[in-house]
Amino acid sequence: MRARGPGDRQVEARTGQLAAVEGRISPQDLGLRNDTQVEAFRRINRFLVAQGTVPGVQLGHGGRKASTGQPWKGGAPLAPDAGGGRPVAPSPLPFAEGLAVPDELTVDQIRLIVRQFADAARRALAAGFEVVEVHGAHGYLINEFLSPYSNHRTDAYGGDHDNRTRFALEVVDTVREVRPQDKPLFFRIPATEWPADGGWSADDTVRLAADLHAHGVDLLDMSTGGNVPGARIPVEPGYQVPFAARVRAETPMPVAAVGLLTEPAQTAKILLNSEADAVLLGRELLRDPYWAQRAARELGGEVHRPAPYHRSA
């Protein structure tokens, strides 16, 4: 679930600087832009809690990947009359040939986006989300600032490592200020760009992980890629786990492993070998919504079942 915050049209009423700018990837993305949406999520989250689960939300900005159609309909850039807008980015560099050239963000716009992350986090808290994850990976806005591949700025938000990570840390700081200390804050990071000459590296990730821990992030969600089109990624079961293991070994940051983790025994081995503190599943749960029950059965554990499902025990 991704909440639209930065660049939304609510801001247009307060400032002309971000007029017609969209932070959503597609017009169909969920958001936390107003109190009406907060109340809608509050009802959903009350139900989730009553069923024994913990609601969480991912907050992000699409950056130069924003204002496109639904992926299953081709994901092409959308004109304003189709619900799209002008994408923004650290530098005026399109993600790939044929995609829109984004507008380069001004410093004032960057600061506004940081505040909007805080606004979205504040609404997430009011809506009953127990966990918030800041999406800093997969070629979206925060990732675009991190990588010298997509960030060619020469001001305080570009150039060396400290400048390129400044925006990410400012977002984390403002979101952390909103979140009570007992409410977890996660950060999704691109561990590598596989590799791109001059791109974000595993060494960069280790360095940023330590900084994120110092700034109050509770867990690092270790993904890879997404900012360099055509990157050659050696996709295989557990292919991203070594990055999580390295960060866990070299920093105090707790980490979660992701990516082609499909079998209960596979995920249990990752935890037993101390390669990660948690495993996160996405697409596998779409393929198998009862994965947790299968894992409990195969590994000899138990999982909570909502009352209407008691007969499935």
Into how many domains does the chain fold? 1
Whole-prediction pTM: 0.91
Q: Is residue 298 part of a domain?
A: no
Beta strands in the chain (DSSP E): 2-3, 56-59, 88-89, 103-104, 131-135, 185-190, 219-223, 255-257, 278-279
Could you list the residue range(s) of the whole structural domain that residue 29 is in? 2-280
Q: Is residue 166 part of a domain?
A: yes
Q: Is residue 269 part of a domain?
A: yes
Tens digits of residue pLDDT in 51-89: 889 999 999 999 999 999 998 998 888 888 888 888 999
Q: Is residue 312 part of a domain?
A: no
For position 109, what pLDDT does the model report?
A: 95
Take residue 70 and report the two structure tokens written for it: 């639904």
Residues 258, 217: contact at Cβ < 8 Å?
A: no
For position 85, what pLDDT does the model report?
A: 85
From CA 215, how far away is CA 173, in angstroms rounded? 6
Q: Is residue 286 part of a domain?
A: no
Residue type, 61: H
For position 22, what pLDDT does the model report?
A: 60
Where the chain has pLDDT below 50, the residues are 1-21
CA atoms within 13 A on the CB side of 46: 8
Q: Is residue 66 part of a domain?
A: yes
Q: Is residue 307 part of a domain?
A: no
Q: Is residue 254 part of a domain?
A: yes
CATH code of 199's domain = 3.20.20.70
Long-range contacts from 45-53, C-beta under 8 angstroms, 24+ separation: 45/127, 45/128, 45/129, 46/128, 49/128, 51/306, 52/304, 52/306, 53/304
Q: Residue 4 pairs with which residues in a beta bridge?
A: 31
Q: Which residues are known to be catalytic?
A: 140
Take residue 142 and report the two structure tokens written for it: 């925060």
